[in-house]
Amino acid sequence: MHVNNLCKSRDLFQKISINICVKIILLSQLVTFLLLYITILLHFGEMRDLELIGGDLLMARDRFLGFISFILCFILTVPGYSLSVNSLLPDEQNTVTVFHEASPKVVYVHRLATVTNHSLKKMQIPAGAGSGIVWNNSGYIVTNYHVIKGADKLAVTLDKLTVPAKVVAAEPRKDIAVLKIDSPQALALLKGFKPFEIVHFNDLMVGQKAIAIGNPFGLDHSLSKGVISALGRKVPGIGGVTIHNMIQTDTPINPGNSGGPLLNSAGQLIGMNTMIYSNSGSSAGIGFAVPADDIERVVTQIIKNGRVVLSGIGIQSVPSNISHRLGIQKGILIADVLPNTPASKAHLRGTHKDAWGRIELGDIIVALNGHAVRNYDVLYNMLTEIKVGERVTVSIQRGNKQMDVTMRTIDVAGIQS
């Protein structure tokens, strides 16, 4: 309580100080105007005409003093220049502006499930909710994959209008899903829509302002703010792999915020609120957002191709827990090499049984383009940064020998790697 009172006193002091400074500036301008008026009067009158001094000058003085009184009353009584504590600080005005411009681009995503009631009739009930980002005026909506996972039907609320939505495609390994709305009424609302500007991950800084808008606990268009607490976090994702380059923020994020935007002070998109670290299930000041770079890359591919394009070499790997039991602590043990892929053409070997039924371990991928590969998570995240058809150098361990093999990646969407 004591700390809150100190904060309130500090804010009040700042507001009063700002208003006092404004008044000092206005009064100084007023004095300058007065001196200028007297100088002009003396110049043209030259103080030679005693009648002017005795008559017209006194009349001019009275009129001028009346004018000065009016200005002083205006300065002291108009709300914009008063000592009102309702005046907004620059940071407050910035937050208000960001919310006003960004909130129409945030939607409420409803997940519906089909159940059978007591009369054996099927009915749809709410099964969860989250937030979404309007990507463009064609009706594409971006949200988290876990928000729509397991839904029989989806609906989106846009500007108090609720319309059906369908899933275009998703990338569970990045926890990103793209929805589409086709309602003419909804599309009419998006005319003249300006999408969020994207801020690249490398341009972010720890300590900069972060603003979240979403629907926590079903409370639509709620705003919270904080700062970027850390960058480059590695967080286990719902798709079975670790998501790299996550943004950590202390901006309060709660259930229902998932899929909503994380913005900077310019109202630009820096990430999508995805998960929190909490024992209670509510905000504990540690939230994570998928960076806008990943969102843009995945969404662009889905809109263009109807799916995510993933570079790969055509191998399937042995799960880490099993390879660890086999004594392999670092690298990826190849379980199988898929036919007609770069890996098969480079004669990489998978794990297999020999003629006597003994297990013969396959090649172990230890590096890609000179960067160490500790596990499949690392390889997957490396491959997401590589374009299809790009030449890569794969370092493998085969028995006691290590060798480098060069190949070009292919699109292996739907295949492990």
Q: What secondary structure does DSSP assign to 265-292, as a single string?
A: TTS-EEEEEEEE--SSSS--S-EEEEEH
Q: Tell me the C-alpha distance between 295 and 388, whole Å.
A: 18
The torsion angle over the Cα atoms of residues 377, 379, 385 and 389, rounded to 10 degrees, is -140
pLDDT at 3: 38
Known catalytic residue at 138: no
Same fold yes or no, 102-189 and 311-411: no
Q: What is the pLDDT of residue 236?
A: 86
Q: Which of 87, 110, 131, 146 is catalytic?
A: 146
Name the burial class of residue 329, with classes exposed (0-12), middle (13-18) and buried (19+) by CB atoms within 10 angstroms of its CB: exposed
CATH 3.40.50.970 fits 102-189, yes or no: no
Amino acid at 244: H
Instruction: Note the pLDDT of residue 7.
Output: 46
Residue 336, H or E segment: strand 332-337
Computed over its alpha carbons, how large is the radius of gyration of the chain?
A: 32
pLDDT tens digits, the chain, 417 residues: what are they? 443 444 444 555 555 555 565 566 656 666 666 655 655 555 555 444 444 445 555 565 556 566 666 565 555 555 444 444 457 889 999 999 999 999 999 999 998 776 555 555 665 556 678 999 999 999 999 999 999 998 889 999 998 899 999 999 999 989 999 999 999 999 999 988 899 999 999 999 999 999 999 998 888 899 999 999 999 999 988 877 888 899 999 999 888 899 999 999 999 999 999 998 876 666 678 999 999 999 999 999 999 989 888 889 999 888 888 888 888 888 999 999 999 899 999 999 998 887 788 888 899 999 999 999 988 888 888 888 888 899 999 999 998 899 999 999 999 876 655
Tell me phi and psi for residue 271, to 5 degrees.
Answer: -175, 180
Residue 116: the pLDDT is: 59
**Residue 118, both tokens:** 């007591």
Q: Where are the domains of the chain?
A: 2-87, 102-189, 201-303, 311-411
Q: What is the pLDDT of residue 49?
A: 47
pLDDT of residue 46: 47
* Residue 146 annotated as catalytic: yes
Q: pLDDT value at position 239?
A: 72
Note if 336 is an active site residue. Answer: no
Per DSSP, 33 falls in state H
List phi, psi (to 5°) of 172. Answer: -55, -30
Contacts of 100 (CB under 8 A, 6+ apart): none
Q: Is 158 left (phi over 0), alpha (psi -120 to 50) or beta?
A: beta
Q: Which of 87, 131, 229, 258 is catalytic?
A: 258
The catalytic position among 175, 294, 363, 377 is: 175
Tell me the C-alpha distance between 282 and 278, whole Å. Answer: 6
- Quick one: pLDDT at residue 170? 93
The domain 311-411 is placed in CATH, from the list 2.60.40.10, 2.30.42.10, 3.40.50.12780, 2.30.40.10, at 2.30.42.10
CATH fold of 201-303: Thrombin, subunit H (2.40.10)
